Structure 1
Amino acid sequence: MSEISEDLLQGPLHQWHVDHGAKMAEFGGWLMPLQYDGGGVVAEHTAVRTCVGLFDVSHLGKAEIRGTGALDFVNRCLSNDLLRIKAGSAQYTLALTDQGTVTDDLIAYLRADDDVFLIPNAANTSAVVAALEAARVGEGAELEILNRHRDFGVFAVQGPAATTVMAAVGLPQPSEYMSFVDATVVIAGAEIALTVCRTGYTGEIGYEVVPAWKDAATVWEALVAAVDHAGGRAAGLGARDTLRTEMGYALHGHELSTDITALEAGVGWAVGWKKETFWGKDVLTAQKAVGVPRKSVGLLATERGVPRAGVGVLDAQGNTVGHTTSGTFSPTLGNGVALALVDPAIELGQALSLDIRGRRLGVTVVKPPFVKVNVKA
């Protein structure tokens, strides 16, 4: 703890995490639980895959765009096509630079044509809000663009027993993937307004619960009790990372950054190509026409070893053909897995190796996810 900066922000449950033996770590400028005593990352990861896990991800950003024309304005800025969904639905989308690289990936909640709620990543919230504000000023649009980062908590209930946990607490359970509801529920005798979205970052069936910051502790305590009763456990960001890597989900700062285009990162599916405009459209459209100079792939270790981010990927002749962007040990597979940016000529099934401090680790090119689950169950 002595090496952790005192300037880091703390979520609404900071003391709960400390009191329950969490190992705290910096993430996106926030001090967040990495893992808890009593099993660590592997046990928490396994709980999500086999039962249920509960994550405090209140460090995630929150922003809101309100006013006449809010929907159309956001749609002109962000990559995906909000006009393809209806009120009460959420959408994965990207805030791109003019060069088609990724400022951030985020979830857009469409409440109404005049109200769009965004959940960006923690460290990028101010950048996303600033880019939207600059666009608003440039257009002369009369809209409110609000940074609401510390107005709400965010909890993720993930795993096969997630629905059971939600029912036990009396929370709504949207049945359609990427749909959400705003509701008022009674917890511990108090009426609490919150939003529940049928989504997550693990590949398992799950929900993200967004209460007001002031109500976060009450909602969390009720969820913890229900998760414990179901045989699950609270989980930290360590398990969240191994779970998302098993699914091949991109993480900002690794697979996504202002140095990597959306097409290189393999998230072109989150681009509304038929839209008249979005940030970075011209450059991204040109790259789509000529092909990417590198592409994102999955790598499955064929030897004993754990891949790490930022190591060279080598072909059979020892030539460097890319680098890893994420790497970890998969508790589900009992094997090393990685995501990498490589030469576009690299093919599925091709044998490569990683240069880990001078030692070669054999890997095979695969298409993620590494683990088969039914995220839309």
Structure 2
Amino acid sequence: MAELRKTPLYPLYKQYGAKTVEFGGWDMPVQFSSILFEHDSVRQRAGLFDVSHMGEFLVTGRDARAFLQYMLTNDLSRLESGMAMYSPLANERGGCVDDVLVYCLTSDSYMVVVNAGNIEKDWTWLQHHADGFSVSLDNRSDATALLALQGPLSERILQKVTPADLSALKYYRFVQSRVCNASALVSRTGYTGEDGFELYLRPEDAADVWAELLSLGEPDGLVPCGLGARDTLRLEARLPLYGHELTEDISPLEAGLGAFVKLDKGDFVGKSALQSQKLHGLRRRVAGIVLDGRGIPRQGYSVLHQGRTVGQVTSGTMSPTLKMPIGLVLVEADLGSVGTELAVDIRGKQVAAKVVKTPFYKRSAGENPASPQS
């Protein structure tokens, strides 16, 4: 068995009490204190995540934009320098190779952020399609560390250590600046449903930035957080997780990401299949459910309607914010409407469930809205 990979912050994990697990080939912290405490800290104050396992590719050259327009389902024509965009990366059948963030550095230079477990696959996929385009691809994953500072107090905390005017930085915008005297790309993005920032750094700077942020943020309640809280936070905000709501066989349309599929732009990989899905109607779709009974809907559990299996759970948890079992399910399309009565088979017992409007949790009006991301 291959040795698990470690982020630049791994030597600090023990100091902060981390409990680690295998995730996408990496040895990552699932929690530092408790998932519930970390979750609540992000909802109410702020949390700091090490997400340096994510992958980063640089795409440069005369045809950089045209190449990414062809590879992604979203429309990059609206992307200007200093802006980021979320997009599925589709295969020819309309399924998802991955879902990514694209950062426009200049008109012919982009950073593509991919999921950790898909780095090798995505790299091969992009290289395979690069023929005919005047582009250069550079895998910068090992040369990039990534910290995510999330929560309603994240701006106040980060402003202490950066000269960038964070109040002027809009959602899905970024600036090149300094954080704790380290060079960083500061992006107003995240994967928690809260306001927050993602900091792209040199690996050798990550530990010092991590430690200084936690020290200076302690009076505001900043705590280190693991992947456990990241998962419960993203699920409450109905943000998809690759391998769950998105796979090679689940299309972005089926996953409810139609807003990020621009069929009216030029040609792109998967366009024909996605057009056909839209024209003929979806056979299945991802919907949100709450359980009316005991148990937690786990990935892979069968979903039933009037005793008939109609789909399966893609993600589920006991919502720390709502104090009830919630889940995302992939079911027959006509059974994904709000109010539909379903059941989840939990260890042989059918537990009643109902389709509800998502996201399960949404921040107060006037704050940055939740949006899918890698």
Q: For the superposition of Structure 1 and Structure 2, which TM-score range results when normalised by the shorter chain?
A: over 0.9
Could you tell me how far apart the structure 1 residues matched to 2:222 and 2:2 are?
A: 32
Task: Give the match for residue 207 of structure 1.
Answer: 197
Q: Shift in Å at residue 338 of structure 1?
A: 0.2
Task: Give the match for residue 318 of structure 2.
Answer: 329
SS state of the match for residue 55, structure 1? strand
Task: Give the match for residue 137 of structure 2.
Answer: 145
Task: Give the match for residue 313 of structure 1.
Answer: 303
- Residue by residue over 1:277-326, the C-alpha shift from the partner in whole angstroms, topping out at 9 and shown as x without a partner, is 111011111111001110000001122322111111111x2111111000
SS state of the match for residue 94, structure 1? strand
Tell me which moved more, 45-54 or 361-370. Answer: 361-370
Could you tell me how far apart the structure 2 residues matched to 1:116 and 1:133 are?
A: 15
1:227-242 residue pairs with structure 2 within 5 A?
227-242=217-232
Q: Shift in Å at residue 227 of structure 1?
A: 2.7
1:133-172 residue pairs with structure 2 within 5 A?
133-137=127-131, 139=132, 141-170=133-162, 172=164
Change (3 A) 1:232 1:192: closer
Select which of 331, 337, 340 maps to 2:329: 340
SS state of the match for residue 193, structure 1? strand
Could you tell me how far apart the structure 1 residues matched to 2:78 and 2:349 are?
A: 48
Query: Are 1:264 and 2:254 matched, yes or no?
Result: yes
Could you tell me how far apart the structure 2 residues matched to 1:194 and 1:272 are?
A: 32
Q: Answer yes or no: is the 8 Å Cα contact 2:297–2:326 preserved in 1.
A: yes
SS state of the match for residue 169, structure 1? coil
Select which of 352, 362, 365 maps to 1:362: 352
1:2-13 residue pairs with structure 2 within 5 A?
7-13=3-9
Task: Give the match for residue 182 of structure 1.
Answer: 176
Task: Give the match for residue 291 of structure 1.
Answer: 281
Could you tell me how far apart the structure 2 residues matched to 1:226 and 1:289 are?
A: 54
Gaps of 5+ in 2: 370-374
Q: Shift in Å at residue 6 of structure 1?
A: 5.9
Query: Are 1:119 and 2:151 matched, yes or no?
Result: no
Select which of 68, 78, 83 maps to 1:74: 68
Select which of 16, 21, 45 maps to 1:20: 16
How many aligned positions are there?
364
- Residue by residue over 1:253-299, the C-alpha shift from the partner in whole angstroms, topping out at 9 and shown as x without a partner, is 10010011111111121112111111101111111100111000000
Q: TM-score, normalization: structure 2?
A: 0.94
Q: Answer yes or no: is the 8 Å Cα contact 2:253–2:261 preserved in 1.
A: no
Post-superposition, which runs of at least 4 consecutive aligned residues in structure 1 deviate over 4 A? none
Gaps of 5+ in 1: none
Q: Shift in Å at residue 125 of structure 1?
A: 1.6
Q: Answer yes or no: is the 8 Å Cα contact 1:53–1:227 preserved in 2.
A: no
Could you tell me how far apart the structure 2 residues matched to 1:367 and 1:86 are?
A: 33
Could you tell me how far apart the structure 2 residues matched to 1:164 and 1:128 are?
A: 36
Whichever residue aligns with residue 312 of structure 2, its letter is: H
- Residue by residue over 1:161-204, the C-alpha shift from the partner in whole angstroms, topping out at 9 and shown as x without a partner, is 0111111222632531100111135x3xxx42110111100110
Query: Are 1:251 and 2:247 matched, yes or no?
Result: no
Q: How large is the Cα RMSD of the aligned pairs?
A: 1.4
Could you tell me how far apart the structure 2 residues matched to 1:310 and 1:107 are?
A: 27
Q: Answer yes or no: is the 8 Å Cα contact 1:304–1:335 preserved in 2.
A: no
Could you tell me how far apart the structure 2 residues matched to 1:227 and 1:363 are?
A: 40
Q: TM-score, normalization: structure 1?
A: 0.94
Could you tell me how far apart the structure 1 residues matched to 2:193 and 2:248 are?
A: 26
Fraction of identical pairs, as percent: 39
